[in-house]
Amino acid sequence: MSPARSGEHVAVPGPGTGSPSACGQAPGSPAIHAIELSKRYGRTVALAGLSMTVARGEVFGFLGPNGAGKTTAVKLLLGLARPTGGEAMVLGAPAGDRETRRQIGYLPELFRFQSWLTAREVLILHCRLMRLPRARRAAAADDALHLVGLSGRGGDKVGTFSKGMQQRLGLGVALLGEPALVVLDEPTSALDPVGRHQVRVIIRELRDRGTTVFLNTHLLEEAEHVCDRVTILSKGRSRATGTLGELRVRRPGVRLRVTGLPSGWWHSLGAFGRWAAEGDWLRVDQMTVGRVPELVAAIVSLGGRVEAVIPEHQSLEESFLKLLGET
């Protein structure tokens, strides 16, 4: 197996076999803790003071539009770039600590494996790079192939793989050696619906066994499916951090399906808020959700029949756009 040609394969820092104590990790510390982390390239500000904390064992979503600084932040956390300001700790050690990086699996957004190698040879090569004992390499490669759904393609050359299959192989490389932290940069960007579902299952399995997953994505759907918490990044800064339920705030309104209301009913119900008709439904905006029982009682007193009541919620996409200040 020949080493990668210059510019052909972006090296994926693989996890290793050292114990947490050997890597200088502090078990009680967060998986990631960044304080005012920043990066400039000349006059261009790629990251402008990022602060966040990722707990161990959670799936943390790193959301933001293209150009928000997500990939720059990942490079700083992994030690692939030096910060201009601020600091970050990863698995209890300063970001970029060489021994700690052995406990990190990384799938970059853009990567390329040698086309003349088979999938199994790619995995074995990375086992060698991470200094996994020779006796464990074949089993580790086979386990990774099985985990990402490539068990039957281990002997095929990477050059014959579709983009989606190469993405699966890259994920398999990131999972070698059971890392404590897995950083995934747009892991489902090249996958079909079946492949995306499979990646979600893998992410949930990683969380179940205590692995921290840092998911860098601009696809809100992916975050909604698997993330425990997210931070929304815009123009190099964190705009909000929390669970999806916290970020998906309620609208001040409710939708109702009502029959039997007399003409002129809105004169009696106008105090509850601003009304609008939507086919067979009525929507009242600017109303406190806690007043729903009072509203239903008022409708019934007018002779109306309430068949359904749906408090309105703001979607994650609406919250996302609102935080970014976009229309």
Beta bridge pairs of residue 48: 38
Q: What is the pLDDT of residue 6?
A: 35
Q: What is the pLDDT of residue 7?
A: 36
What's the token pair of residue 285?
């905006």
What's the token pair of residue 111?
């990567």
DSSP for 129-194 reads HTT--HHHHHHHHHHHHHHTT-GGGTTSBGGG--HHHHHHHHHHHHTTT--SEEEEESTTTT--HH
Q: What is the pLDDT of residue 23?
A: 41
Q: Are strands 32-41 and 85-90 parallel, antiparallel or unpaired?
A: antiparallel
Q: What is the pLDDT of residue 314?
A: 60
Q: What is the pLDDT of residue 5?
A: 38
DSSP state of 251: E
Q: Are strands 229-234 and 237-242 parallel, antiparallel or unpaired?
A: antiparallel
Q: What is the pLDDT of residue 104?
A: 92
**Would you give the end-to-end CA distance of the chain in angstroms?**
52
CB distance 105 to 177 below 8 Å? yes
**Distance separating alpha carbons of residues 178 and 210, to the nearest angstrom:** 10
Domains and CATH numbers, the chain: 32-246 (3.40.50.300), 248-324 (3.30.70)
Q: What is the pLDDT of residue 324?
A: 67
Q: What is the pLDDT of residue 19?
A: 38
Q: What is the pLDDT of residue 27?
A: 56
Q: What is the pLDDT of residue 1?
A: 37
Beta bridge pairs of residue 104: 181
- DSSP three-state, residue 24: coil
Q: What is the pLDDT of residue 250?
A: 55
Element (H, E) at 234: strand 229-234
Nearest to 191 by CA among 214, 230, 221, 228: 221
Q: What is the pLDDT of residue 17?
A: 41
Q: What is the pLDDT of residue 252?
A: 63
> What ranges make up the beta strands (E) of the chain?
32-41, 44-54, 59-63, 85-90, 93-94, 104-107, 181-185, 212-217, 229-234, 237-242, 250-259, 274-278, 281-285, 305-313
Residues of the chain under the 50 pLDDT cut = 1-24, 327
